[in-house]
Amino acid sequence: MNATPAMPVTPGLDATEHPFVHDVNQEHRDSLSATEKLCKRIADSTGAPVALGLAVLIQAVWIIVGIATKWDPFPFAFLLTVSNVLQLILIFILAVGQRQSAAHAELRAEHDHDSISRLLYHQELQERILIEIAGKIECDVEDIKAMVANLAAEDSTP
């Protein structure tokens, strides 16, 4: 009993062609300008616990020196001005870093979708090949075809 595959193979697609998996991280790094790379480095370092400790230490030392030398006495107007200017600059740097992270995540998602699509295509080809092999060795493939059809129907329902 010679069985034909239940689902025809998609024309124009070769199952032996395997595109290389993209290095999304390198692709993202290559797309960044020098300014964006600098902003990313600053954004990465300001989010580190070391940066928090350093900021607390600098302010504590500033307050102690300001009180002792009367250079910047309470209410520490110069310290507040410097802190506010730094915060304003960092807001924009962090916004650039966040935009880069979002673009990187979108690029990863697109490549993941492409890879998963290729995997699903190969799985469908393997199912067809297995059904064809089972039919050629005269196994009852109607149960297998029904299971595949049920799975396909479940995937197509919202």
CA-to-CA distance for 107 and 101, rounded, in angstroms? 10
- 115: tokens are 């890879």
Convert 48-76 to b/e letters by CB count within 10 Å (16 or more is b). eeeeeeeeeeeeeebeeebeeeeebeeeb
- What would the pLDDT profile of 103-136 be if each residue is shown by its tens digit? 999 999 998 898 899 898 998 899 888 888 888 8
- The answer on pLDDT for 9 being more than 90 is no
pTM beyond cutoff 0.75 = no
User: Which residue segment(s) compose the domain that 47 sits in?
Assistant: 33-156
Residue 45 is assigned to a structural domain of this protein: yes
- What would the pLDDT profile of 50-66 be if each residue is shown by its tens digit? 988 999 999 999 999 98
CA-to-CA distance for 50 and 107, rounded, in angstroms? 30
Residue 79 is assigned to a structural domain of this protein: yes
Number of separate domains in the chain:
1
Residue 9 is assigned to a structural domain of this protein: no
Residue 101 is assigned to a structural domain of this protein: yes
Residue 5 is assigned to a structural domain of this protein: no
Do 28 and 107 touch, CB atoms closer than 8 A?
A: yes
CA-to-CA distance for 97 and 116, rounded, in angstroms? 28
CA-to-CA distance for 8 and 152, rounded, in angstroms? 14
CA atoms within 13 A on the CB side of 82: 9
Residue 77 is assigned to a structural domain of this protein: yes
Q: What backbone phi and psi angles, to 5 degrees, belong to 87? A: -65, -40
Residue 26 is assigned to a structural domain of this protein: no
Residue 37 is assigned to a structural domain of this protein: yes
